[in-house]
Amino acid sequence: MARIAVASFRHETNTFAPHKATLTDFETGYSWPVLTRGADVLPAVKGYNLALAGFVERAAARGHAIAPLLFASANPSAQVTEAAYEAIVQMLFEELAALGPVDALYLALHGAMVAEHLDDGEGELLMRLRQKLGPRLPIVVTLDYHANMSVEALEMATAITGYRTYPHADMAATGARMADWLDGHLASGAPRPAAAFRQTPFLIPLFAGCTMREPAAEVVAAVARIEAETGVLLTFAGGFPAADIPDCGPSVYGYGSDAAAVRAAVDQVADLVEAHERDWGGAVLDPAAAVAIAIKAAEGALRPVVLADIQDNPGAGGTGDTMGLLRAMLDAGLTGAAAGLIFDPHVAMIAAKAGEGALISVALGGKHGVPGDKPLPGEFKVIATADGRMTGSGPLYKGARLDLAPTARLRLGGVDIVVVGKRVQAADQECFRHLGIEPAAMRFLALKSSAHFRGHFQPIAETIIDVAAPGAMAADPAALAFKRIRAGVRLSPAGAAMREQA
């Protein structure tokens, strides 16, 4: 039996987004637990689809003692402030010092954290921990599928693995996989494994990295197959393409006892990713064109047509309040439509005060100065209001105790609009249901999300149309003003169609 310290510190940083992550953002609940320390961590994460929860459950089942340090997660946004990063790292070190000796450390990190003063939040954290704990103590890590992996992180850790799904249905499963690996490593008494790492010479657009579509599905299947065949702990990271740092982009990395085998496994997957370069794209339509196609697709359909507002994804730094797609739906006179989740706590509060049935004259959304966007003024009918608390039921948020307070269902024209007080992407049907909207019964659904929505909504959708309305998460990374990315990286995959005019 080993004594294993565990912690989680996660942020996905879109350096092009308008708002930074402060300590308050880590202390505020949204879809994941609030900042928690010490013994409170385990009950806070229990039952969630989180790598930390999956690791703890499996490691405990294998008879190990778990010593929790900290859980800290904030919504994706621009950089973590220097004050927030240093405060959380200090808490982690304080908790670690209070523990006394441990046999191993497990960290559930993201891999795409940028702080105001650091390009590589995870690499720096791992370096400080390695200095403190010495070269031999096993430090094992799980990262998000969207990690912008660095050689520093690779070398400071004993071993790292990452999610194999986007939507991230396997976060808890990834933690459990790492618990199994650590258990075997501790039992074997083997030295630190050899590592290999290869970055891809092009960025993959966020929506195109979804593993429910090709070529990502083929790549992650190959990763699992090669890992099973070779015993190399192997990961493909799609990268997070909205970070202006040298290490932005996809990568393949692996760990194992045989350096040549690790290198070969990493090269095999990286070759596959690169062979598909022109396939990492897809059609993305302007709002008016997308709505016109949606109207045709809905004729005679028994299931909703989904319009994915992929550039205003709060799960990737989007403000969650741009009005471009909603405006196009109203202009086209859509009926039987629902749209969400619009982040506008001020309007949600006004609706709550006015009460159900009231008419409120407000300017909805458009409050963050996103280029090409402006608020949508109108007289909205308040259909329902709620406290915004619910338990997620989709693959991503299953078991998560969501808090979107306050929330309101407003109607303008033929569109029911879900307005929320916390910035969360539209990835779970419960976010509509808690206000009396049954998503499967709608003719049209407009969802602010790049790909996570697919986990819960693709099974009920007639078809899905990717839309490029104003937002901080550019569908095509080449549209972003990169200055610091390493030389030679193609900002979008060569030959992949990214936008289409109809």
Residues that bind Zn ion (CB under 5 A): 144, 146
CB of 487 to Zn ion, least distance (A): 26
Residue 439 CA to residue 108 CA, distance in Å, equals: 33
Q: If you search the block for the tokens 């304080």, which residue do you land on?
A: 94
Q: Which is it for the CA torsion 202, 206, 211, 214, positive or negative?
A: negative
Nearer to Zn ion, 146 or 198 (CB): 146
CB 414 within 8 A of CB 334: yes
Rounded CA separation 166/235 (Å): 13
Please name the residue that has the structure tokens 């559930």.
108
Contact 294, 444 (CB under 8 A): yes
What minimum distance in Å lies between the beta carbon of 101 and Zn ion?
34
Q: Which is nearer to Zn ion, 144 or 466 (CB)?
A: 144
Strand partners, 167: none
* Separation of alpha carbons 65 and 101, rounded Å: 12
Backbone angles phi, psi at 299, to 5 degrees: -60, 115
| Cβ proximity of 178 and 161 under 8 Å | yes
Q: How far is the CB of 144 from Zn ion (least distance, A)?
A: 4
What string of DSSP letters covers 114-167?
A: -BTTBS-HHHHHHHHHHHHH-SSS-EEEEE-TT----HHHHHHSSEEEE---SS
Strand partners, 159: 140
Q: Using CA atoms, how far apart are residues 57 and 47, in angstroms rounded to an integer?
A: 10
Q: Least distance from C-beta 480 to Zn ion, angstroms?
A: 18
3-state secondary structure of 108: strand
| Tokens encoding 155 | 């070398």
CB-based contact 262:195 (threshold 8 Å) = yes
Nearest C-alpha neighbor of 31 from the set 359, 437, 452, 373: 452
The amino acid occupying position 177 is R
Residue nearest to Zn ion (CB): 146
Cβ of residue 364: shortest distance to Zn ion, in angstroms? Answer: 28
Decide the pairing of beta strands 337-343 and 415-420.
Answer: parallel
Element (H, E) at 275: helix 259-275
Query: What amino acid is encoded at 85 in this protein?
Result: Y
Nearer to Zn ion among residue 174 and residue 407 (C-beta)? 174
Helices 171-188 and 51-61 meet at what angle, rounded to 10? 40
Asked if 72 and 26 count as a contact pair (C-beta separation under 8 A), the reply is yes
Question: Closest distance between Zn ion and the C-beta of residue 146, in Å?
Answer: 4
> How far apart, in whole angstroms, are the C-alpha atoms of residue 50 and residue 401?
12
How far from 479 is each of 242, 281, 443, 465, 492, CA to CA, in Å? 10, 14, 32, 20, 9
**Closer CB to Zn ion, 16 or 444, in the complex:** 16
For 70, the enclosing helix (H) or strand (E) is strand 65-73
CA distance 451 to 447: 10
How many CB atoms are located within 10 Å of the residue 489 CB?
Answer: 17
Least distance to Zn ion from the beta carbon of 141, Å?
A: 15
